[in-house]
Structure 1
Amino acid sequence: MHVVPGLKVLYFGTPVVLISSRNENGTANLAPMSSAWWLGQHCVLGLGGSGQTTANLLRERECVLNLPSSGMVEAVDRIAMTTGRRDVPERKAAQGYRYVADKFALAGLTEQASDMVSPPRVAECPIQMECRVLAHHPVEGPSVRAAAIHVEVLRTHVEESLVIPGTHHVDPLGWDPLIMKFCEFFGGGENVHPSRLAEGWKMPHLDAAPS
């Protein structure tokens, strides 16, 4: 039997992406997100309309999409409730977001120079995609002010051990991406770490869900 629960969010399960971009003063910003999907060498990113990352992408027109493995969940969670915007939007502040100037340092991650774009890669991420922004589409409604940003992947870096020898393909058995489902972290089908984001968004605790 199906029901109509009036779902608050539709995050059914997508890979976490750490987007690195350049701030106006030249420093690096790093933001976790999971509303991303790919077609060929293109990707569409769903981002909040008032965030620092969105502003950086629209101004600089480039970024790096870094894909963390499930083993990097603690680093990702450390920056989940942070923003690179000094004047934290009122709605975000009410949820518990705070301004952090150096999110690489807070996460314990390392900047790695990119080949084709200005923003750095995340050295610890097994997959890194250097991108340029092609288009921006506002997404607005009664309860949302967001942006769909279309980027082209210029170069993809992959940890050598994840490449099937003699091919141009990633080993799907070796690659264990960090997945976000309804604001919770998963890897290999298991919940891998408590989520600050789930707390900020007041999601039900996992132990309250029916088994």
Structure 2
Amino acid sequence: MHVVPGLKVLYFGTPVVLISSLNEDGTANLAPMSSAWWLGQSCMLGLGNNAQTTANLLREGECVLNLPSSAMVDAVDRLALTTGKPAVPDRKAQQGYRYEPDKFAAGRLTEQASDLVRAPRVAECPIQLECKVVSAHPFGGTTQNATATATAIEVEVLRAHVEEGLVIPGTHYVDPLGWDPLIMKFCEFFGGGHNIHLSKLAEGWNMPHPQRSPAV
């Protein structure tokens, strides 16, 4: 039997991406997100209009999509309630967000120079995709509020860096058995089909998950 609960969140599960970009002063920003999908050599990113990353991508026209494995969940969670925007939007402040000018240090991650774009890669991520922005589209308005709350940004992957052990020998394909991406499902962290870490983001959004527990 199906029920109609009137879902508040449609966030069924997508891979986590750490987007590295450049701030206006040339410093690096790093932001976790999980509203992304790929097709061919392109990717579509869904980003809130108040995010520093959105402003950076629209201004600079480039970024790196760093894909963390499930083993990197601690680093991602350390970045969960941070923003590179000095003036923290009221809604984010209420959820517990704080301004963090050095995201790489906050996540205890390492900057690695890219080949084709100015934004740095995350050295610890097994997969790193250097990208250029192709187009941007308003997204997220409702019938009650026609003003878009987000932007759908299309990027083209210029170069993919993949940890050698994840590539099937003699091919140009990633081994699906060896690659264990970090998945965010309804604001909770999953790897290998299991809830693997408590989520600060879930707490900030007051997600009702009474059975949430840390990995054993």
Same fold flag (TM > 0.5): yes
Is 1:207 aligned to 2:211, yes or no? yes
Following the alignment from structure 1 to structure 2, what is the Cα–Cα distance between the partners of residues 42 and 158? 17
CA shift digits 1:122-142 (9 cap, x unpaired): 000000000000100011424
Is 1:12 aligned to 2:12, yes or no? yes
Following the alignment from structure 2 to structure 1, what is the Cα–Cα distance between the partners of residues 21 and 67? 14
Following the alignment from structure 1 to structure 2, what is the Cα–Cα distance between the partners of residues 59 and 99? 20
The equivalent residue for 1:92 is 92
Deviation at 1:204, TM superposition (A): 1.0
The equivalent residue for 1:180 is 184
The residue type equivalent to 2:38 in the other structure is W
CA shift digits 1:22-48 (9 cap, x unpaired): 000000000000000001000000000
Select 1:151's aligned residue among 146, 149, 155. Answer: 155
Secondary structure in 1 aligned to 2:179?
coil
Is 1:123 aligned to 2:127, yes or no? no
Select 2:168's aligned residue among 157, 161, 164. Answer: 164
The equivalent residue for 1:65 is 65
Following the alignment from structure 2 to structure 1, what is the Cα–Cα distance between the partners of residues 210 and 124? 28
Secondary structure in 2 aligned to 1:141?
coil
Deviation at 1:206, TM superposition (A): 4.6
After TM superposition, the structure 1 stretch with the greater mean CA deviation from structure 2, 162-171 or 87-96, is 87-96
Secondary structure in 2 aligned to 1:136?
strand
Secondary structure in 2 aligned to 1:176?
coil
- TM-score relative to the length of structure 1: 0.97
Is 1:40 aligned to 2:40, yes or no? yes
Following the alignment from structure 1 to structure 2, what is the Cα–Cα distance between the partners of residues 21 and 173? 30
The residue type equivalent to 1:159 in the other structure is E
- Structure 1 vs Structure 2: percent identity of aligned residues? 76
**How many equivalent pairs are there?**
209
Give unmatched runs, 5+ long, in structure 2: none
The residue type equivalent to 2:51 in the other structure is G
Secondary structure in 1 aligned to 2:149?
strand
The equivalent residue for 2:110 is 110
The residue type equivalent to 1:117 in the other structure is V
Which runs of structure 1 show a deviation greater than 4 angstroms over 4 or more consecutive aligned residues?
Answer: none
CA RMSD of superposed structures (Å): 1.3
Give unmatched runs, 5+ long, in structure 1: none
Secondary structure in 2 aligned to 1:59?
helix
After TM superposition, the structure 1 stretch with the greater mean CA deviation from structure 2, 168-177 or 142-151, is 142-151
After TM superposition, the structure 1 stretch with the greater mean CA deviation from structure 2, 134-143 or 7-16, is 134-143
